[in-house]
Amino acid sequence: MSGNKKRAMTTNEEKQNTAMDVDRELPQGDPVADANSAVGEVEALKTQNAEYLDRLARLQADFDNFRKRNAREQIEFREYALGEALKQLLPILDSLDRAVKSESATAEDLRGGVELIDRQFHDVLTRLGVEPIPAQNCKFDPTLHQAVQAVDTTEAEDGTVLDELARGYRLRDRVLRAAMVSVAKNPGN
């Protein structure tokens, strides 16, 4: 029995030592202080959250202001660009007004005046970057030409522009108006 008592004592001692070790591992803090610390952390997080929301609201307001300012600047730029283009057309209008007011002009004088006005107008278009689309005797291109009629003929290759009914224009790479054309339709092909 003495061996059993020794084993039981050792087991009891081990249990007490283990319980003491567990007590040493557990934090021995004040529950009130721990609660106050947790409340402090929550308050800090709430403050940080409020700062982030405030920053987000400011960023949204800045973005809205940027978007409105950008739209306003685009409108102003368009109006400015249009104004500059119209300024270049005003001398042509002046020439037309003088031609209309001319009472004693002969047909030859009027023709010369109209040719001058035509030249002025084309010069302004060239300065603005507008150029005519070549059509006469060119191969029909549906991106540049609008076929108004097809003409049966054996004198021209199929799909060749025979006549330009209205000139087409482009501004750099953008077609402002396609050239209205008549196109050769070769019945042999």
Q: SS3 sequence, the chain?
A: CHHHHHHHHHHHHHHHHHHHHHHHHCCCCCHHHHHHHHHHHHHHHHHHHHHHHHHHHHHHHHHHHHHHHHHHHHHHHHHHHHHHHHHHHHHHHHHHHHHHHCCCCCHHHHHHHHHHHHHHHHHHHHHCCEEEECCCCCECCCCCEEEEEEEECCCCCCCEEEEEEECEEEECCEEEECEEEEEEECCCC
Last residue of a domain, one of 77, 95, 128: 128
Per-residue pLDDT in tens (0 to 9) along the chain, 189 residues:
555 555 555 555 665 555 555 445 545 567 767 777 888 899 999 999 999 999 999 999 999 999 999 999 999 999 998 888 889 999 999 988 888 888 877 888 888 889 999 999 999 999 989 999 999 989 999 999 999 999 998 888 889 999 999 999 999 889 999 999 999 998 766
Last residue of a domain, one of 128, 146, 181: 128
140 within domain boundaries: yes
Q: Which residue range(s) make up the domain with 161? A: 131-189
Structural domain total, the chain:
2
145 within domain boundaries: yes
Last residue of a domain, one of 76, 101, 128: 128
CATH number at residue 176: 2.30.22.10
